[in-house]
Amino acid sequence: MKFWVLSDIDSAKFSSLKSIISKFALDYPKIKVELSVKTRETMWESLFLHLRDPENLIADLIEIPHSWTDILSKLGMFLEMGKIIEGANLNKYPDFLRKGCGLQKDGVFFSLPWWMELYTLQYRLDMVKNISPNIDSDLKSWRGFLNVCEKIKKANKKKDFFVLENANPSGAISLYDVIPCVWNRGGTLFMEDFNRAAVSKREFLKGLEDFLKLAIDGYLPLFKENYYESEGLLSEGLRAMVFTGRYYSSDRIVQPLSQKGEPDAKKPVLEAALYPNIARDGHLVSSTNLAVTDKVLDIDEVKLFMKTLLAPQNLKTFTESFSVFPCQKISVEGMIRTNKNYAVYRKILSHAKMPPNISVFPTYNSLMNRVLWDMSVKIVKNNYNSQELAKKLIFIQSEVDYLMSLY
Residue 99 belongs to domain spanning? 2-116+287-348
Domain assignment present for 272 = no
For residue 402, pLDDT over 70 is answered with yes
Domain assignment present for 47 = yes
pLDDT at 235: 80
Distances from the Cα of 138 to the Cα of 117, 132, 133, 147, 159, angstroms: 24, 8, 9, 8, 27
**What is the rounded average pLDDT of the residues 375-387?**
97
For residue 230, pLDDT over 50 is answered with no
Q: Report the CATH number at residue 19.
A: 3.40.190.10
pLDDT at 318: 97
Range ranked top by mean pLDDT from 117-131, 244-258, 333-347: 117-131
**What is the rounded average pLDDT of the residues 275-290?**
88
Q: Is the Cα torsion angle 380, 242, 319, 84 positive or negative in sign?
A: negative
Domain assignment present for 212 = no
Average pLDDT, the chain: 91
Amino acid letter, residue 113: P
Q: What 8-state DSSP symbol labels residue 269?
A: -
Q: Return d(Cα 116, Cα 113) in angstroms, integer.
A: 8
pLDDT at 377: 98
pLDDT at 267: 64
Query: 154 Cβ partners below 8 Å, 6+ apart?
Result: none
Residue 112 burial (CB count, 10 A): 25
DSSP 3-state assignment of 155?
helix
- The number of folded domains in the chain is 1
Domain assignment present for 192 = no
pLDDT at 251: 52
For residue 403, pLDDT over 60 is answered with yes
Helices (H), 272-385: 299-309, 312-321, 329-337, 343-350, 361-380
pLDDT at 343: 87
Domain assignment present for 205 = no
Pairing of strands 162-165, 239-244: parallel
Give the pLDDT band (50/70/90) at residue 225. Answer: confident
Cα of 224 vs its chain's centroid, Å:
19
The pLDDT tens digits for 316-335 are 999 999 999 999 999 999 88
pLDDT at 80: 96
pLDDT at 234: 85
For residue 407, pLDDT over 80 is answered with no
Q: Is the Cα torsion angle 331, 334, 339, 340 positive or negative in sign?
A: positive
Percent of the chain predicted with pLDDT > 70: 93
Q: C-alpha angle with apex 22: 16 to 24, nearest 5 degrees?
A: 105
Contact 6, 39 (CB under 8 A): yes
Residue 108 burial (CB count, 10 A): 15
**What is the rounded average pLDDT of the residues 296-305?**
96
Domain assignment present for 398 = no
Closest CA to 314 of 22, 86, 61, 55: 22
Domain assignment present for 226 = no
Percent of the chain predicted with pLDDT > 90: 79
Domain assignment present for 206 = no
